[in-house]
Amino acid sequence: MLKVWRLHPSGCPIVPAEKTLQGTAHRGGVRWCGPFTNANKAGWWIFPPVDVDIIWKGGSDFEYDVHTPYSDADYHLIRFLIREEEAADVDRWLPKDGRTKFSWGLLEEGVVQIWTGCIFETPPGWGLHIRSPINIPPRPFHVMEAVLETDWLRYDIWLNIAFDRRNEVARLRRDEWPPVAQVVPVPRETYDARWQIADELLHRNTPEANEAFEFFLQYNQKKFAGSGTDPLSEDDPSVTKDSATYYKERKRVLGGSEDDRLAPGDDS
Q: Domains of the chain (ranges plus CATH)?
A: 3-192 (2.70.40.10), 207-261 (no CATH)
Tell me if residue 170 falls in helix, strand or coil: strand
In the chain, pLDDT over 90 holds for what percent of residues?
A: 86
The larger pLDDT score, comparing residue 123 to residue 235, is at 123
pLDDT above 90: residue 128: yes
* Of the candidate ranges 104-118, 121-135, 165-179, 222-236, the one whose mean pLDDT is the lowest: 222-236
DSSP β-bridge partners for residue 144: none
**Cα–Cα distance list, 262 to 36, 49, 156 (Å):** 13, 32, 37
Query: Nearest-CA neighbor of 43 among 66, 76, 14, 20?
Result: 14
Q: Is the pLDDT of residue 264 over 60?
A: no
List Cβ neighbours of 184 (8 Å cut-off, separation of 6 or more). Answer: 42, 43, 128, 129, 131
pTM for the structure as a whole: 0.88
pLDDT, one tens digit per residue, over 137-159 is 999 999 999 999 999 999 999 99
Q: What is the pLDDT of residues 77-95, one digit of tens each?
A: 999 999 999 999 999 999 9
pLDDT of residue 167: 98
Residue 258 has a pLDDT of: 57
- Give the residue-averaged pLDDT of 163-192: 97
pLDDT bin (cut points 50, 70, 90) of residue 268 is very low
pLDDT in tens, 10-61: 999 999 999 999 999 999 999 999 999 999 999 999 999 999 999 999 999 9
Per-residue pLDDT at 263 = 42
- Predicted confidence at residue 257, as pLDDT, reads 65
